Amino acid sequence: MHQIFLATTNNFVDSLYEMNLMAYVGYEPTRCTSFSNVFEKSSNISSKKQLIVVSLSVIENLDELIFRLDSCPSLYTLIIGKTNFEHDRALVVQNKYDIREIIRCSAKLLDVTARDMALKKVPDFYPIPKVIFSKLNESESDIFKKENDEYIRIYKKEDEYSYQKDIFATMEEHLYIESKKRLSFINQTSKLIVHELKDKSLKVDEVLKIADEGMNVVANSILKNDKISKEISQISKLCIDAISDIAKSVSKAKKLLEQLLNNQGGYIFNHTVLTTYLAKQIIKNMPWGTKEQEDKVAFAIYFHDIYLVPIFNKYDEVDEETLLFRSDVFEEEKETVFDHAALAGELVRTFDRAPLGVDTLITQHHGDLHGKGFPDFFNDEVSPLSKIILIAEELSKHILENVKENNLSLAYDKSLIKKKLLERFTRHTYKKIIEQVDKILL
């Protein structure tokens, strides 16, 4: 028998992992309250393998983890978070909502195969940590409680219930669902991220973290199927709202960027949030600018580089076109980079009720009418909103590049920015937009 120890920062996420590890890997994890608690609990147990599933933020000292792994050959670890940690008996999953990957890596470390799981006997009723229900307003299956070895139905499928006021407040740690429903029940837990994105009490840094992870969830899901599912469309909409709210709440681009850099999110996420802020500012200053246009542009910018998220997560780069010339980037990835505007334009056509014309804005975000490559000539045929996106992108790239190089005074130098933009976008219609740079709060 193997043993799993689980230590993350959030009780709810722990429960989510617990439920999935039980259902898909076949072991009930032992919950730990801290990094040292993991070793207190694991040292008295003589199981075949001991797997620690731990959030990066819980680990006090990575050197200590290496020491522990080196001195105990039956110890394995799965770290959840953004780290380059390497060890023969360790794997890393960057996104805490990527439950599928967490399951896959845990099973791999413990050598549990799908066949092993199929052969396992499962009791008729399946325990679900009570806290899981607290984040769902309704259940997709009947809910039971256990009393004297009997299972009593307390809620029917789709009954609405309230966690705080209701029976949950007084009951034990687990409730039950029928085992045959367990996989479909567990698979709907992406509602978690929806719930977190709806939480209006969060601070900007917390919202940034969740929206960044939400963007990764969306990007990963479109890699697997080239359509936007209902769930993914809901997550995207909430992320777009969150980004728009953040853009509204900050006073200057500089402040926004400070917060983004503190968040340590992905490059495409930072680029997306900053570009959204800048494009909104330009629209606000255009005599014809409306709130609808701001919303449409926020939507377009959210998806414009979505196919690049995994590629930028892999390579340290700030320029999209440069990826085409790097020898370490695979040909297939270069094709995606070349076509990313066209691919994303096609993708949003599968989105239920996307703002009208947003697919064209996305397709043309590098100035090519068909969304291919990175033209140097910007023609007049693209719409005014496309031009705003082009300028905002260029502006955002200038700021991010200079901040990365630590040239802070150049990053926010309006006259330098205007000069560069006027050299690149020579047509008269672009000039009118570039003039707005003076009014944008950098």
Where does this chain bind Fe ion (CB under 5 A)?
305
The residue among 213 and 305 lying less far from Fe ion, judged by its C-beta, is 305
DSSP assignment of 226-285: SS--HHHHHHHHHHHHHHHHHHHH-S-HHHHHHHHHHHT--HHHHHHHHHHHHHHHHHHH
Q: How far is the CB of 426 from Fe ion (least distance, A)?
A: 21
Q: How far is the CB of 365 from Fe ion (least distance, A)?
A: 6
DSSP 8-state code for residue 28? P
The residue among 293 and 363 lying less far from Fe ion, judged by its C-beta, is 363
The answer for residues whose C-beta is within 8 angstroms of residue 255's C-beta and 6 or more apart is: none
Longest Cα–Cα distance in the chain:
80
Q: How far is the CB of 220 from Fe ion (least distance, A)?
A: 18
The vertex-194 CA angle with 163 and 351, nearest 5°, equals 140
Q: How far is the CB of 40 from Fe ion (least distance, A)?
A: 48
The residue among 196 and 393 lying less far from Fe ion, judged by its C-beta, is 393
Which of 278, 299, 308 minimizes the C-alpha distance to 361? 299
The residue among 52 and 323 lying less far from Fe ion, judged by its C-beta, is 323
Q: How far is the CB of 389 from Fe ion (least distance, A)?
A: 9
Among left, alpha and beta (phi > 0; psi -120 to 50; other), residue 158 is left
- CA distances (Å), origin 83, targets 17, 137, 262, 286, 367: 20, 35, 16, 43, 36
The residue among 18 and 333 lying less far from Fe ion, judged by its C-beta, is 333
The residue among 18 and 368 lying less far from Fe ion, judged by its C-beta, is 368
For 228-231, which contacts have Cβ atoms below 8 Å and span 24 or more sequence positions?
A: 228/347, 228/348, 228/350, 228/351, 228/352, 230/352, 231/190, 231/191, 231/194
- Phi/psi at 114 (nearest 5 deg)? -60, -35
The residue nearest Fe ion at its CB is 305
- CA distances (Å), origin 145, targets 149, 170, 323, 358, 423: 10, 12, 55, 49, 70
Q: How far is the CB of 425 from Fe ion (least distance, A)?
A: 16
The count of residues in the chain is: 442
Q: How far is the CB of 340 from Fe ion (least distance, A)?
A: 6
The residue among 157 and 404 lying less far from Fe ion, judged by its C-beta, is 404
- Characterize 148-170 residue by residue with b for buried, 16 or more Cβ atoms within 10 angstroms of its Cβ, and e for exposed: eeebeebbeeeeebebeeeebee
100 CA to centre of own chain: 14
The residue among 305 and 368 lying less far from Fe ion, judged by its C-beta, is 305
Q: How far is the CB of 433 from Fe ion (least distance, A)?
A: 17
Q: How far is the CB of 304 from Fe ion (least distance, A)?
A: 5
